[in-house]
Structures are given as structure tokens and as C-alpha cells.
A and B are shown apart, each in its own frame.
Chain A
Amino acid sequence: MKVVNANEKVSIKLRINGKDYEDVVEPRKLLVHALRDLGFTGVHVGCDSSNCGACTVIMNGKSVKSCTLLAVEANGADILTIEGLEKDGKLHPIQEGFWEKHGLQCGYCTPGMIMEAYFLLKENPHPTEEEIREGISGNLCRCTGYQNIVEAIKYASEKMNSKTD
């Protein structure tokens, strides 16, 4: 059993957007801060009580609030952040949907919202409007009133389905 004391640091490995990173962190360091310190500043902090979802990333295939995980807990994990969504300079259909449907204003909730939508559409490629609203209910937005975000996710769902069907 490995034991790390409070004032010690520990070495961790993270696979982020398909690349390997090594980091040395205090055990108390939150994953969100570790990701931001590694340069993934699209991952945002919007609250201190795990409600807002601005820090949402995909970890081992699941959407997680990275403010509610320790970096050491994520050791060895495969993480996808907003920065890794674009492929070969081409926007992901969800990103495209947010642009087309005016699904963002200040843009602060946007990375987390897009990652949650990514997870939602993986789980449920044909969500109803109600399922979309439920699906993003862990992600707060103060600017848009959500309607255009729902439209953006519908747009992406249609586009992704027409590609794969």
C-alpha cells in the first residue's frame, strides 16, 4: 500500500486528449486545478459546491465534475477536455451546433456544457427535448436561458446520426 503524507507530493500520470502527461501534485490538489495548471484552461471553475458543471470533462468515458475529484484519484485515467474535441482542425458537430444555434454568450459554461452534451449523445444518440434538458441539468448557464443550448444539442444529434446511420 502506498502512503503519501500531507506535505509530500506524489507523481501521477494522466492521458489527456490522447497524449500522456506526468505531474507531481499534493494529494489535496483537485483534478480541475491540475488540468488547468497543465494548460487546459478551457476547463473552468464556476462554484465551490459541485453544482455548476463548468469543470465537466470526460474521464474514462464518463462525464465527471473535475472539481470533485482529486488529481491523485485520476492517476492513470484517460481524460477528454474541450481542447481535445476538435479533430484535424474540424469542429466537432456539438461545437458546430453551439456556433450555429447561438448556444453561448459569455462562453464560460460552454466547455463543460459541450462535454456534458458529448457524454449525453454517446449514451443516448436520439434524445428528446426533455431528455436533453435532464441530461444537462448538472450544468448551469446564466446567459442563454438554455433554449439555444437545447437547439445546439439537437442540431449535433441530427448531424451525428446522419453521419453514422
Chain B
Amino acid sequence: MYIGKPVKRIEDLNLIRGRGQYVDDIVLPNMKYVAFVRSERPHALVKVRSDVPFYGGEVINPGLDFPIVSKETTYVGQPLGAVVGRDQYEVHDMLEEVEVEYQDLPYEVDPRKAMKDEVKVYSKLDTNVGLRKEFVAGDPEKALKESPVVIEGELRNQRMIATPMETRGIVAWFDGRRVNVWSSTQSAHFLRRNLTSFLKTDVHAVQPDVGGAFGSKIITHPEEYAVSFLSLKLGIPLKWVPTRTEEMMSSGHGRDKSLSYKVGTTRDGVITALVGTVIGNLGAPYQDAYDDESGNVLSTSRMILGPYNIRNARVEALGVYTNLVPTTSYRGAGRPEGTFFIESIMNELSLELGIDQLEIRKRNVVKSTPYQNAFGITYDSGDYTEILRKSEPYYEDFKRRAIEEGLCVGLGMYVEITGFGPWETARVYVKSDGKVVVISGAGPHGQGDGTAFAQIAADVLELPIEEVEVQWGDTAIIEDGIGTWGSRTVTVGGSAVMQASQMLKDKLKQAGSKVLNVDVEEVEYEGGKVKDRGSGKALDFREVVSGAYKLGIPLDVTAVYPVTRPTSPYGIHMALVSLDRETGTAKVRDYLAIDDVGNVINPMLAEGQIHGGVLQGISQALYEGVVLEEGRVVNLNVVDYLIPTAVESPRMKWEHFTFGVSSHPTGSKGIGEAGAVVATPVIMNAVSQCLGRQVKEMPWRPA
């Protein structure tokens, strides 16, 4: 069995030798480069004068301002049009030849003010409020009135920039029949569907190696539409790769939500009511981003209830347009904000009521699963009380060390939604020499799912993993696919791989019986061999395969695995944090993650996801966040927007339990986002414990 083992990655051999192929590594004959002129104003009417050929919105999307501006720009960094030249150097020279005349319009970057509709973010909007939805359960107002303890306040979860080490980028080439694109994207298939409908032309999309994304490469970006369009119009291969500054001013902005709340409890700290308003800053009204982020605002609002049994609750969810970069998914996609809100509230209650952090969670936690939270989300399996019990000795040890070493302990519990649908595909076929090829419709870009897929297929087919090759990211090699996001790939994509492998195994058994010239009921499949029970005659894997080819039996199957419901991992994380009383500097000294993510397909890779997610979560608490001045983000490079180095990163320890598996064939739940979901409140709660008051804004800045 490979499932459950820390199998080393099949992805690594190319990447550690510099043989990966990321989009900027792709060179086509006669290829030219594209660069975009970007708005320098948050809201303005624009007129462009250019001494070089310039392709603006009037060429790419006449009469519209999206994806490319024709007339009215709505954020700093928005693409106004493109120039095409020989190389990166020439196109950046050409940008100097383009003159933009701005007629400034009033702008608004604060969603609370934008909600009033005194300033329209975009002239064609009826209102800046893009989303308004209310979730109600029980009688929260009455419960609040009857609560002996009520706390209230406002929490802010700041705007972040995903900042994958590789920016976006695309190569597009119209071959006379269809547009071929290679893009740094999270899904070739999703990109293909969007481009096909925009261009009204068939598109072949390839996702080459991708240098991370963290949600920022789910949507189809304005530049991807524009470059694909220009390749069709100009008939030459085009490449676009932005600079880091451009990337940070135009992509990957996430989070940016606030919660104003009133929470009622008993004197023992049992929550009796929660009433609140979530305001999500959507940024400018770009439809692709809206479709992405509006769902995240709803996720935040519905997950505010956390892993706690809260039956009286009202949350109003608002998504508000402002003159900032259109907001999109960032690792966790709405769930981190919801978790941050409820875990901050838990810690505030602990501080206000003088109840121990772990104890107050025990008093509120959901007692049994499956459990449907008051806003309708089902937590499918697991034992929340038990994981708190398991965490106790670790917590006691942290508390002891905190006293001895003058540190503070922070806790955070979470429940997550992962494994979103609607479906995923997998194709498995065997070459005539017996090599098994697994193709996934998902689009891994660092998470190592290719290795997990190989483990799954090798186990089902009872073959050495070396016989299995895994591919993805090309719309020409599998019918269709959804993509990699929402911590769905191993679970949903893996279930499709498992089903396709089982289908192939059945086919191999049938083919083997034909080669052996006996009934299929007479044979059994074991260890890659097909054996006739009667005669004892056995064919090895290669003999079955070559026999099938000779008999004209194709060994190529595709499974489409439909998702009926998402699955919920959960866990409790804790950290030891030091706070320098002189400078206010906080540093994470030790970090422990305890998770139940169902069946763990590959513990080494799962732990790697926790390390990465946790550091991003820590970084939101202590380091990252955009800084605004006069409607623009001013920290647009990795000097001023602090990405942690190895020095800021603490040692992290991971423990996992399996009290609840998912109902998917893999039995797994997602872990890609969990670390980022919970680490932020863990750190903020530790800082708050140090100070004896709940800190409600991030990143933590010494006053």
C-alpha cells in the first residue's frame, strides 16, 4: 500500500534540476512580448494618446471597461491597453510612448463609506452594494436581551496580497484554427471555458509548471483575455509576464473583511446569541472577481459560527465595491476571516470572563457529528470534544513553558469546508508497453497531488508506483476538468482517480479473461496479474496489456466523479509567542498544529501544506497587509510588503488524528488551506493574552 505513506514526490526530479517549465520558460518562433499601460488613478475618465501601436479597450472590448478600460478606470493598476514589442526591454520603452490623460472622478476605498452610495465606484453601477444577504437562525435578538453577558466590537481582517513567487503570465498563439494558450493558472479547463466564450473561438489551454498561486490564479484575469484576443487579432505568438510591482498592484488581493458584532453569553461563557454584520470589500466591479469573491463573503458569514453550538444567530453579509483592485480568493477564501472572527471572540470572552482559553472552547464546542450549523453548513464527521481532549497535554506543556520563559499562549480552533464540487475528472490508460498514465482534470501547482494520485492508482491497480505516470493541465489530454482550489484536489480529484483506476482494473480483468479464453468470472486480478482460477495460468501485467491491444480492446477509461457535499476537517492549533515590552515586537517561538483531515493519503505532503499555510497565517497576523494612501496601495514590492523569510518562520509541529473520514472514496478531507485558516487568530490571541485585551486589527503593530 502506498496510501498513508510519506512517498517522496514524483514532481521533484525536474524541479530540483532547473528543468521545470514555467510559462516564462516557453519560447515560440516569432514570439513577441506584451506589456500593459495601467491606470495611475483610482477613478477617472481616460484618454490615451500613443506614438506606438496601442490596443485599448475600444479594440479588445468596444464600449466596455472590462476586461480592458475603454473610457472609465476604476482602480489604480487597471489595464488600459497593451503594447507589443520585441522583448521585455522594448515593450517597457514603448510604455513611455503612451500618454494617458486623466479626468479624475470622486473615488472611495472604504466600503463603509461606499455603502452610502454618495460616490459611485463606477458610473454604470446602480449601487456600490454588490451583495447583500442575511443568515438568521433562532431568535438572536431575544436571546441577546436575555444574556447576562454581552460583548460587542468590531474586528478587521485586512487586505492581503497572495504574492506567489511566480507572477501570472501567459503565452498565446493562434494557429489558424484555434487559440493555444499556456498560462500560469490554477485550471487549464476553467481558463479554456472563459476564453472560449470571450473569443468565440476554440481554445486549447495548457497549465505548465506554476510557481504557486494561493487563490490568485483561479479567475481569468483581464490580461489573459486581452493577450489571447491580441494573438487572434495579430496572428503571432505573444507572451506577457508582469513585473512584481505590476503583479502586486493588479492581482492577488484577498481577505479585507470586517465584522461588527454583539455576542451574548451565560456567566459561564456559553454563547447564547451572535449578531453581526460582515462587510467584504470587493474592490472594483470586475465580473470574474465578483463571481469568485462574493462566494467567499458568504463563506465568511456562514462559518462565523465555527465549531461551536450557536443556535441563535443573525449575520448580515455585505459585499461592497470600492476603487481598489478587484478582490479575489486568497488561501482559505473567506473561511480564514470567519474563523478569525469567532476565534477572536472566543479569546475576548476568555479574557473578559476569566475563563481558560481551552475551557471556554470545551463549553461551546459541537458535541457530535454530523452536525448542521445554524446557517445550514454540515460538519460531516469527527469528534470535536475528543480533539480538544487530545490537545490538553500539549496545551498544559505550552502553559508551563509560557510561565517559565515569559511567553504567551494563543489558541485557535477551526472547522473548515473543503472538497467543493461540482465534479472532477480522471482518465487512466495503459500504453502497449504496460506504462500506466493517470491524467487529472484538476490543476496542481505545488501541492504535490500528482504524487498522491500515483499512490492511489498504484494501490488500486496493485502495481509499483514507478509504473504510474501522472499528467494534468492540458485541455487536449482529458475531456474536461474543474481545477485546484478549495482544498479539493486529493479528495475530489483523487476520488475520480480511484474510480477510473477501478474501472481500468475491471477492463484489465475482462481483457485478461479474453486473452486466457475463459469467462471473466473464472479469473481474478491480483498484483497486476490476471489469473485463471481453474487452470492456475496467470498473465503478468504486460501480457494482459499487449494481449488487449492485439484483441482490439482499448484500455482507456475516464471517470467523472460528482460531489454531493463538501467535507469538514477541523482541529486546534496553538502557539507560544513572545512580546517585547519595549519595542512591542511579537515573535512566534513554537507552533503546534493538531488536525483531523480524515484519511491522510500522504502525511509528508499533508504536513508540508500545514507548514506553508501556517506561515501565511502567522504572516497575516504579524507582517502583511496593504497600506493605502490617497486611493492607492503604496507597498507594492516585497521590501515594503513583508513576506516572511526563514528567520521569521518558527518551528512547526504537526499532529493528526482520524476521528472522522469523509464520505468520498478516498475518505480524505482537504488540508491545503487549514493552516492559513487558523494560524492567524492563534497568533493574535497569543498577543492579546500577553496584553490582557483583545487586539482587533492586523497586522499587529506595536503602538
Which residues of A pack against B, CB within 8 Å? 26, 28-29, 33, 36, 40-49, 51-52, 54, 81-83, 85-86, 91, 95, 98-100, 102, 104-111, 114, 132-134, 136-150
Contact of B647 among A42, A107, A134 (CB under 8 A): A134
Instruction: Please give, as numbers and ranges, the residues of chain B lying within 8 Å of A147 by CB-CB distance.
Output: 611, 649, 651-652
3 shortest interchain CB distances as A-B pairs: A42-B18, A108-B211, A107-B15
Most chain A beta carbons < 10 A, residue from B166, B243, B616: B166
Q: Distance in Å from the Cβ of B583 to the closest Cβ of chain A?
A: 20
Contact of B638 among A52, A108, A146 (CB under 8 A): A52
Instruction: Please give, as numbers and ranges, the residues of chain B lying within 8 Å of A26 by CB-CB distance.
Output: 89
Decide if the interface of chain B is mainly helix, strand, loop or mixed. loop
Contact (Cβ within 8 A) B89 A136: no
Contact (Cβ within 8 A) B211 A83: no
Chain B positions 1 through 37: 1 when the CB is less than 8 Å from some CB of chain A, otherwise 0? 0000000110111111111111011000000000000
Residue of B nearest to A149 (CB): B646
Decide if the interface of chain A is mainly helix, strand, loop or mixed. loop
Instruction: Please give, as numbers and ranges, the residues of chain B lying within 8 Å of A138 by CB-CB distance.
Output: 645
Contact of A146 among B212, B244, B615 (CB under 8 A): B615
Given the known interface contacts A29-B89, A33-B88, A109-B165, the answer about A83 and B18 at a Cβ–Cβ threshold of 8 Å is yes
In the complex the two chains form, what is the Cα distance from A91 to B447 in whole Å?
23
Give the B interface residue count (CB, 8 A): 55
Contact (Cβ within 8 A) A105 B638: no
Instruction: Please give, as numbers and ranges, the residues of chain A lying within 8 Å of B20 by CB-CB distance.
Output: 42, 107-108
Q: Distance in Å from the Cβ of B387 to the closest Cβ of chain A?
A: 22
Most chain A beta carbons < 10 A, residue from B16, B164, B243: B16
Interface residues of B in 332-365 (CB under 8 A from A): none
Query: B605 near A: Cβ within 8 Å?
Result: yes
Query: B604 near A: Cβ within 8 Å?
Result: yes
Given the known interface contacts A145-B612, A147-B652, the answer about A106 and B210 at a Cβ–Cβ threshold of 8 Å is yes
**30 A-B pairs (CB sep. < 8 Å):** A28-B89, A40-B18, A41-B18, A43-B18, A45-B241, A46-B165, A47-B638, A49-B637, A54-B165, A83-B17, A91-B17, A102-B604, A106-B164, A106-B166, A106-B210, A107-B12, A108-B20, A108-B165, A133-B649, A142-B212, A142-B214, A142-B616, A143-B446, A144-B608, A145-B611, A145-B614, A145-B615, A146-B645, A147-B649, A147-B651
In the complex the two chains form, what is the Cα distance from A43 to B25 in whole Å?
10
In the complex the two chains form, what is the Cα distance from A129 to B9 in whole Å?
25
Residue of A nearest to B8 (CB): A99
Query: B696 near A: Cβ within 8 Å?
Result: no
Contact (Cβ within 8 A) B212 A108: yes
Q: Distance in Å from the Cβ of B150 to the closest Cβ of chain A?
A: 39
Chain B positions 237 through 253: 1 when the CB is less than 8 Å from some CB of chain A, otherwise 0? 00001011100000000
Instruction: Please give, as numbers and ranges, the residues of chain A lying within 8 Å of B21 by CB-CB distance.
Output: 41
Q: Distance in Å from the Cβ of B616 to the closest Cβ of chain A?
A: 8
In the complex the two chains form, what is the Cα distance from A148 to B244 in whole Å?
26
Contact (Cβ within 8 A) A49 B244: yes
Most chain B beta carbons < 10 A, residue from A26, A29, A44, A147: A147
